Amino acid sequence: MNIVIDANILIAALLKNGKIRELIVNSPHRLLVPDIHFQEIEEHKEELLEKSKLSAGEFATLISTLSNYFSIIESNKILFFLEEAEELIGTIDKDDVPIIATALAYNCSIWSDDKHFLKQNKIKIFKTSDIMNMTEE
């Protein structure tokens, strides 16, 4: 199964060596990450470095290592689906349009703990607890 990872899930994995990072590394599913997430990470890099207590080099290494466990989806692969994604979530949170578009393009679900994704009914949303239960089965 393909599952798109929300930016907040990816950021949580970068900030702490905990359950979310473990779920990514050990996922039996194909995890997809829109390339735009890396722009967001770069925009908040100083804050993330401070919170994670990692050096810039350690942080870069961690991103590189985690990247082995998911596929990065280039923006040009989801262009055809942006309009539909805008209709589904654009009035709720414009930043989530690429995530919805990726899920539409790859006909898959999204892993997010953000409740606003539940305001649309076309794409299945898995919370972290759902992902944990899936791996325990």
Query: Which two structure tokens, joined as six digits, stand for 21?
Result: 């990072």
How remote is the C-alpha of 66 from its chain's centroid? 12
How remote is the C-alpha of 20 from its chain's centroid? 11
Domain count, the chain: 1
Q: Is the pLDDT of residue 113 over 90?
A: yes
pLDDT digits (tens, 9 = 90+) for 8-25: 999 999 999 999 999 999
Domain holding 95, by residue range, is 2-136
120 touches 88 (CB < 8 A): yes
CATH of the domain at 101: 3.40.50.1010
Q: Is the pLDDT of residue 137 over 70?
A: no
Which three-class secondary structure state does DSSP give residue 126? Answer: strand
Identify the pLDDT of residue 91: 80
pTM: 0.92
Nearest to 109 by CA among 6, 36, 40, 39: 6
Identify the pLDDT of residue 95: 87
Rounded distance between C-alpha atoms, residue 1 and residue 36, angstroms: 22
Q: Is the pLDDT of residue 136 over 70?
A: no
